Structure 1
Amino acid sequence: MNLLEQVVARAKTDKQRIVLPEAEEERTLRAADKVLADDIADLILIGNPANIDKKAGEWGLKNIGKATIVDPLNCAKSEEYAALLAELRKNKGMTLEQARELVTKNNLYLGCMIIKTGDADGQISGALSTTGDTLRPALQIIKCAPGITCVSGAMLLITDRKEYGEDGIVVMGDVAVTPNPTAEQLAQIAYTTAQTAKSVAGFKDVRVAMLSFSTKGSAKDAIDKATGKSVYIIDKVLEGTRLAQEQYPDLQVDGELQADAALVPSVGATKAPGSHIAGKANVLIVPNLEVGNIGYKLVQRLGGVTAIGPILQGIARPVNDLSRGCSVEDIYYMVAITACQAQDAKAQG
């Protein structure tokens, strides 16, 4: 089985309840039908039930009846959700009336409230919504996982070059959310990306490389004389590595490493002799979003690598974002990925 087939198989072993708040959108509804047909997850579809039924009939979708359909304008728990949301956001000045408005007219907020009250395990949106729209209710309602303050996004990179990463699979973070993480945030990104590598990619032995343009002191940061601060990024990566090793003692992590030193055994042995990660890394942590976004798109377009994601991480229960150009297949597999993350989140407590 390839990686995506393995993810689907893992999702099936312990079905999770996944919310699709954009259920009246065609790609989403078609993907839901396929998910339900393949018995990958229990789905909660948010939308007008009559519209969903009509569209399912028009498009020949036979399995939508297996889903739970929640009508935001006629939801039995609307008042419960509104009261809890108002309580969660009272320090920000939210009134009960404002909370009622959100849970009845904003499906993304309603979906997160369903998760918050334990009635669902994860959510996927983005076919119609921006990343900001997806993240805002998740951070306001579900919040970050314990000990985590930084949400990030990981990309699964799959190549036919089996000698790299884990049999040709590499997980890279952050490629989606935090533009210029601090050293403390880099340490958290290393940890949460390692968790994604376990829960989604199925890695048993996670080996994290903290990337830079230097390997073990081969270059030094310049110092701005006016501020006394490093001009470049090596020192940040070094401090992030130290914090990751200190805060997550079970995490196998090393840095700073150049990308070739992290991935190629011969280069790693030459540039970083004695490193337990160099040449063997299967998780790559980049120093900023600029590097991550450019890097994964270059290997995707020029190197023929399959890129899956971004997979959001660091939230207490998984909430994932889709591209507005996503396909039915993208949504289908993201349901399976979100289910695997939900399994892991429950195991972590």
Structure 2
Amino acid sequence: MSKPLKPQQVANKVLKQKPLFILDVRNESEFQDWKIEGNSVEIINKPYFDLLEGVDHILEELPKENVLVVCAKEGSSIMVADMLDEAGLEEVYYLEGGMKAWSEYLEPIKVGDLSDGGELYQFVRLGKGCLSYMVISQAEAMIIDANRMIQPYLDFAEDHGITIKHVADTHLHADHISGGRKIAEEVDATYWLPPKDAPEATFHFESLEDQKEIQVGNTNIQVEALYTPGHTIGSTSFVIDNQYLLSGDILFVKSIGRPDLAGKAEDWVGDLRNTLYDRYKDLSEELLVLPAHFGSMEEMQESGIVGKKLGELYRDNKGLQVENEQEFRRMVTENLPPQPNSHEEIRQVNMGKLNPDEDRQREMEIGPNRCAVSE
């Protein structure tokens, strides 16, 4: 019989670049839109409906052992995995919970130490390319750009004896549902949000204003808010401990943020340019840029961290090398990928205007993030 492999086990293989062969049995359009990726991952797509009468015709395309079968929710992959096992393959696995579970798994990775003993962690959502952060000092924490699945943050805090005091979003997200407000309510923390992004918010939040300093712990670790519009009108970056720049969806390792998810591309592209070519230019090139998303595994360091120094990005990131303003406008507006699934509904949820059930929230988020301008 085939055996289950948990999302955490798959993530471990991807992050540590261990060989992983995947047979994805979803339909071709779903596979092309979104799949498990990694430098050590080999993957093929054979739709489940083409395998109902047997798997003999695909055996030559598979290794003799260690095959992971993947489907949307688990059921189809179990059936195909069992068929492969009966056909004589050894060590056949299926992804427990399917791509639904893969989409929701968060892997915490330590980025580095802060002054006076603090730490910064990056929570990597491999299945959707989302990145969130936990700043820790003196057993207190601040979470930035939390995902909808709040339990991993709560469990991490409890396991490490940490009290969550602050939660913030760098902007009003359109690709995924924020867990920030829910975490704040759960642990009685302060929730921060850029007011320009949430004029219609139905809930209370503290205004994340330019140059606002948020103290975490009793040390000199400060989270300094920096108004950096462009992806949204309220987009706010964070400078943490004079070491790290949390750029939200303004700047990525290989691209730059898109300005159109609220239908304001022509209006906001100028703000985007000012942030990238002026405001960020005033910052130290030694700051490690830590974005809210990544588009491919190429953006990930060997440690699993997604990030790169600001000076290196000004040298290597093509989106930061278009000096002519009209060329920049053209590059941004002509290279916009399809908008994220259900992006307008997600914005409404993040403003508190919609409250869909858990299954609908999960459905709204399925698929890749599309927050960057195409390369």
TM-score over 0.5 for the pair = no
Q: TM-score, normalised by structure 2?
A: 0.28
Q: Name whichever structure is richer in strand by fraction.
A: 2
